[in-house]
Every structure is written in C-alpha cells, then in structure tokens.
A and B are shown apart, each in its own frame.
Chain A
Amino acid sequence: MTEPAASVTGQVIRPYGDATGDGRVQVSFTLPVPFGTEEERARAEGAAHQLAAAMGLDPAMVVHAKGIGPDFTFFIVYGRVSHLVDLSAVTVARREFPLLSSAEVNLRIRAGLGRKLVVLGACIGTDAHTVGIDAILNVKGHAGEKGLEYYREMRVVNLGAQVDVDKLVARARAEHADAVLVSQVVSQREAHLAGAREVASAFRATYRGERVPLLVVGGPRFDPAMTQDLGVDKIFGRGTTPREVASYLVHALAPPARDAAPESPARDAAPADAGRAAAPAGAGGAAA
C-alpha cells in the first residue's frame, strides 16, 4: 500500500479535485421533473440543488441540466463535500492467497495432490449466460489469461447453462470433484443469493459427513464478503480472471508442503484490480 501523497494529515483525507483537501466531487442523476418552460427549468435546477445539499455537497454547482422527454431532467453536479475519510479505519479484503503462474499451479497440484485436480463448473437455475463460467474454464480464458482447461494438472468438466442443483451434486460425486464452480451472471430479485444457498445446502445434505468439494461461486452481483452467509468457501466478483481462480483452488486444495516461498510483491501488488478488468461475468448482456 502506497502512502496517499496528497493527504491532509496522512491518515485523514478528503476528495481531491485540483488541490489538496478541496473536497470536490462530481455526481450525475435524473429527477422526475419536467424541464420545459422557464419556470419548470428553474424549479428543476432548484430540485437538483436541494438533492445535492442533502447529499452533503456544499457549495454545489449544477453544471448541466437537460430534459429527457416531457417528464424527466438529467443533471450533472459538481460540489464540495466536507466529509473526511479516515484511512486507519478502512478495512480492505485482501486476497488471502498468492497469485501463481500456470506452471506454479501445475507444480503445486502435482506436489500437493499427486493427481489431477477435478473442477466442475456450471451455471445453475434459469441462468443461461455461460459467458462468465466459460471465461474462467475455457482454454481461451479471459483478459489475456488462459482458462482452467489450459492447466495440465486440472481436469475440467463444464456443465454449461441451466444445470439443476441436484444434477450438479450428482455429477460432482460421479466425477469426484475437488471443486465446484457455480456462475450466476443474470439475477433478479436476489436470485443469485438464493441459488448459491441452495447449492451449499444441497451439497451438505448429500455429502453428509463426507468431504464436500470446495464450493466457489462467482458473478458480477455477488459480494465477496458473503461467504459465511451463503455457506460457500469462496465468492468471486466482477473482473475475476482464471488465474485468480486457479491460484485460489491450489491455495485451498493443494497447500505447499512447507511454508510457501515468500510471495513476490510484484505479483501480489494488484489485489484491488476488480474495477480494471473487463468483467467476464458482466458482459454479454447485449444480446439474447
């Protein structure tokens, strides 16, 4: 973690516009107000000011207001916030495992398991969008990284779209899966959460006492902090790459014989790159 260069005190900071501590931010929003007549325009801008003030923007500048159809107005607002951010109170979910190359992953599986690591992947329920699971599993992979099929020491079974949870569990037993990856890209009314819980309880109910495969869920709508709540081992959110998943699987299933070699800081320097990658899971909404 680098020290914020332009902090007020080093630990307590404000947003940075073009000067330290100026607190400048930009927001945009739409209000259901007309923007037609002179009077309507004045009222609309006043409404935007009122919302900006309630959001803590003081002073606020409505730099753009435009009517959208007869009933709505879109605003862009710049303003100053007086809120402070205390860096010492920020909690960060750091990746608990080192990011490995495919050669290192293969080596760890050979040394740690002495056989192929079996990965079963599926989209469950009504979700027909396999783009997320395919990006992680297909050889082609995603974001310049090859998918898990590319790892010689993994055996990948991709069940594809709309797999029933019962079938998923049965197949996991038949294949002796070490890990089960469940992707849910499209969700309405929190269906992705219900789906993940259903998977977790189905595995626990069926395996009874036997060792349940590592349960991993992924998709753009998941909060990675909810593992306990959902009863799964790991949650991957937007922007996850195949290498991250592979690294996690060996971290959890094929631990190094001795203490792991010190992690290369260069390799581990970008845990917060979720926003950078082009969401494999989120894309694909454009068609069908």
Chain B
Amino acid sequence: MDAEDVMEPKLGLDPALVREARELAAAAGQPIVELARTHTTVSVERAVLRLAGLDGADDDGMPWVNRLADAVRESAGLEHGVALPAWDALLTGDYADLRTLARDAAAGKVKFRVPEGRDATAAGAAARAALGRGIATIDARRAERDAMIRETAEPAKPWIYLIVATGDIYEDIPQAQAAAREGADIIAVIRSTGQSLLDYVPEGATREGYAGTYATRENFRLMRAALDDVSRELGRYVRLTNYASGLCMPEIAALAGLERLDMMLNDCMYGIIFRDINPRRTFIDQRFSRQVHARAGIVINTGEDNYLTTADAVDAAHTVVVSQLLNEFFGQEAGLADSQLGLGHAFEINPEVPDSFVLELAHAQLVRELFPNAPLKYMPPTKHMTGNVFAGYLLDAFFNLAGVMTDQSILLIGMMTEGIHTPFLSDRDLALENVRYVARAAARLGENFRPPPGGFVEQRAHQVLAEAVDLLRRIGRDGLLGAIADGTFGITRRPADGGRGLDGVIARADGYFNPATDILEGAS
C-alpha cells in the first residue's frame, strides 16, 4: 500500500508546474474548508449520535438518531451541536441511555436547552466520554483489520474490484463469496438507487432494493463477517467497499468505521454533480466523513470516472486531474494519508478516436505520476460499451492492459455486458479470465514502457496537466462554488444554493461543541 512499488517517472513532468497545480488546488479548496469548519449539518450531528452508540429505529423505520436530532433542532437548535443539549437532557432527565431519551424526545416529552456553566461542563464531559468509547471502537476495528491481514495475507496489486448488487443482502453474500473465490480482492456492494437522497440511513438487514442493496449497519456487519470467513478460507484478505455519499455521508462513514469496512466511495463533488445534492451540504458532510475514514484506516475511492461518462473523455481529461487534486487536498486536510487516497479515473475515450489507447495510456500514466503514493482506482469503459459483447470484451482487455502497464492499484473489472444487464455469473468469470490473462502476459510491460521524450504520450500528458493548471487558475478566480455553478465538472450546472439538503446546513454558533470532531482533529 505504501511507497514500495512506486514506479519511476517517465513523462518528464515539470516539478514546478506540478507544485503550482497543488498550490492552486489548495487555494481553491481552502475557502471550502473554512465553510466546513464554521458549519455543521443534520447528518454530521446524527453521526455524532451514532458514534455514541445510538442505533435502531422507531416503528415507522425512522432511525432514533433522526428523531433525537430533529427534536433537539426544534427546541434548542443545532447551532451549538447536538451533543450539549442531548447529554444535558440525558443527565438532567436521568435517562438510562440515548435510546430512551430519543423515544421520549420523539414523543415530544423532552424540552432541550443549550446548558450553561456547570451543566454545560457535565454534559460536555459525558458526551466526550461517550464519543471516546465510540472512536475507541473504530480504533479497535482498525486493529482488527491489521490482525486479519496478518492472519491471512495482503493480496498482490493490482487489486481486483468486483461489484455485487442483488438488492438482497442474503443473496449478495454467496455472490460476494463466489466472486472472492474467483479472484476478487475487493467486493463492492452497490447501493440501492436513490439511497443517496434519503435523509436517513435505513435499519437492519434488507432483502429488497432497487438496482442495489441498501447500505445499513446490519448489512455492513453481515457482509464483513462473510468476507472474513472467505478471507480465512482463501488465505487472502478480501476488502469490502460501500458508499459514503449522499445526504447521510457522515453517518455512513461512522457506520463503516464501526463495522470495519475497508474502502468507501467518497468523492468531494460527486453528490453535487450527479445527485444534485446541495454543494455546501456536500462539502461540510464530506470533511467530517473523511475525518472518520482517516481514523478508521479506510481507503476512500473518489469518483472522477463519472465526469467522463457525461463529458468527452479527451476534452474533459483535465477536469479529472483537477478533481483529483481537489480530492487530494480535501482528503489530506481531513487527515487521510496518501495511502488512503484511492483517486479515481477511467478508460472512457471513444474507441473510434485514432490513438484512443495511446491517449488512455498518457492519461493513466499522468495520474500515476502525479499521485505516486495513492492507491489509484481505475474504472473500465462503460460509455462506449455496446450490445456487441465481443467488441466489449476486447475493449475491456485493452483497459486491463492500460491498467497493468501504468501500474494502477485497483482495477474495477469491466463486464462485456455493461449496459445490458447486471452481470451473469459467466460474464464475471470471463471478465476475470480477461484480467488474469493480461496481468500474466504483460506483467513486465510497465517497466519496459518508456514513452520517448517529446513523443505523443509525453506531449499529451503535458497538455492535460497544463489544461488542468489553467482550469485551477480559473477556479481560483471564480471560487470553487462558482465553478461548480458554471458546469465546470461533468457539464452539469449546480448553483451553491440549489440542490437537495441545504435546509440541513447550519452555521455554527460560538461555543459549538462536537466531541467527535474534537477527538478526530486532535488525533490528526
């Protein structure tokens, strides 16, 4: 995972330009960090409650964390954070636990206040102790992962990433175990479509979803346990991935840490662009969720591949680099190590374009060299996959070849039936046969791949980097929120006050108290 297999630079990138790109990204990101430091959201506050151990839902399936946070917001506001009013009520009302408090709060029986003086000290201390226990659980899960890896083994790179998505967790489990036995190193359970726009996290094991399975704590637990079994059977640690995205990003990050998920999709702008979630909400939620991921040893996967499904993969190549630089800045600022930055990109150039493969190589090599210590996640073609499964199989082989040649860390395995149906068992098996052949046949091709100075690959890489720097300068002038509003990423225009979830954004008052953030920031 660390720098042991960093390849030597091949593109002759100008270090001064690379430095400038990072400085521009930091300058563009800094106001967003300020925004996140001075605001909270309903989901950040609910994540605090989850980390303190509040689980479960009422008879309508609405989680107790929503009930309690809503009740606090109604009577005391959330400007000071949920912790002070909630633990004050817990202590003064002599409640046994948060759930009992939440039940009474939902029934309108609790009057919350922002405590002062000695009451505030007592509530703060109790909340800090509860959150300390929650974060200690995350630490224990992280140690458990390290122990599991020692007990089994770390798989060789590139890691093979496969998706399951039946909607039924009990159907997903045997499929995930079968995929692991067939060679998958990472299992991603695709989330039910639309969960990103739910402002609560569903509860319990779920057996029905839409084009995916709901992300719930119990589903996380069941799948992680099943993958532990198969990891021991195979003598190889099989990682589990889910999605810390959408309106409940911070809560899902917390649940992922508590249940030892290993990777989480967590992009700084994906929800804004593709799910029309409010930009401010996303950035605030994102910072907290990344702080949790950093603590939990979770590798984030960013979503730059998505830009290329709506924009042209040649024209928009530099927007991918810009987004990666922003994701890197926001990630590092939140405490993530480089080895936790699974920056994304994709093989989406129209195969009709002359030299499309060479362009892909240039892009992939550029990203590899810009982020030498990041476990890059490389995504297969989707946009130009057609009903011609034979041509699609060939395109996937070229994708695998580009990935192996440029030392990508995580390969999401392309399916020849992409865009037709969810993969058949045989589609998955053929896809693994494809990647295994390419990895075996071309293992040493990377070290023998030397793009000549001034040649096509080098020139293209330099051009994309230069365009990225130009765009970052423009973002520096307009501000990142302005650039997003102008449709800079993925074509879509997303104004800062548009989209869903803005009503869940709250400016922090003086004396805002969030014991989770205090612990997480103290550690980083």
B178 touches A140 (CB 8 A): no
B191 within 8 A of A: yes
Against B, the Cβ 8 Å flags (1 = close, 0 = not) of A128-151 are 111100110011100000000000
Is A162 in contact with chain B by the CB < 8 A criterion?
A: yes
From B382, B383, B385, B429, contact of A68 by CB (8 A): B429
Whether B193 sits at the interface, judged by CB under 8 Å, is yes
Residues of A within 8 A of B196 (CB): 128, 288
Please name the residue on chain B nearest to A280 by beta carbon: B383
B111 to chain A, nearest CB (A): 35
**Chain A residues near B367 (CB-CB < 8 A):** none
Would you list which residues of chain A between 162 and 187 have a CB under 8 Å from chain B? 162, 186-187
Residues of A with C-beta under 8 A to B209:
188
Give the secondary structure class of B's interface: loop
With contacts A286-B379, A287-B379 taken as known, whether A161 is within 8 angstroms of B197 at the C-beta atoms is yes
Answer yes or no: A10 CB below 8 A from chain B CBs: no
- B211 contacts the other chain (CB 8 A): yes
Our count of residue pairs bridging A and B at CB distance below 8 angstroms stands at: 118
In the complex, per-residue mask of B412-423: 1 if CB is within 8 Å of any chain A CB, else 0? 100000111010
* Contact between A135 and B310, CB atoms less than 8 A apart: yes
CA distance A284 to B348 in the complex (A): 11
Say whether B193 contacts A286, CB under 8 Å.
Answer: no
Determine if B420 and A286 form an interchain contact, defined as CB atoms under 8 angstroms apart. Answer: no
Q: CB within 8 A of B426: which of A30, A126, A128, A129?
A: A30
Q: Which of B270, B382, B424 contacts A285 (CB 8 A)?
A: B382
Contact between B387 and A275 (Cβ–Cβ < 8 Å)? yes
Interface presence of B41 (CB below 8 A): no
1/0 per position for A22-54, CB-CB distance to B under 8 A?
A: 000000111000000000000000000000000
Query: Given the complex of chains A and B, what is the CA–CA distance between A41 and B1 in angstroms?
Result: 41
Q: Which of B19-27, B74-82, B301-309 contacts A (4 or more CB under 8 A)?
A: B301-309
| B491 and A140 within 8 A (CB) | yes
Instruction: Let me know if B194 and A128 touch, CB within 8 A.
Output: yes
Does A74 interact with chain B (Cβ within 8 Å)?
yes
Set B193, B243, B419, B430: member contacting A279, Cβ < 8 A = B419
Q: Does B402 contact A (CB under 8 A)?
A: no
Indicate if the CB atoms of B429 and A186 lie closer than 8 Å.
no
A167 to B309, CA, bound (A): 28
The 8 A CB mask of A90-117 against B (1 = contact, 0 = none) is 0000000000000000000000000000
B residues in contact (CB < 8 Å) with A: 163, 167, 178, 181-182, 190-194, 196-197, 209-211, 243, 245, 265, 270, 274-276, 303, 305-306, 309-312, 379-380, 382-388, 412, 418-420, 422, 424-426, 429-430, 491-492
Give 13 new A-B contacts, CB below 8 A, not counting A140-B491, A283-B382: A68-B182, A125-B194, A126-B192, A127-B193, A127-B194, A138-B492, A140-B312, A161-B276, A186-B211, A187-B211, A278-B386, A286-B380, A286-B418
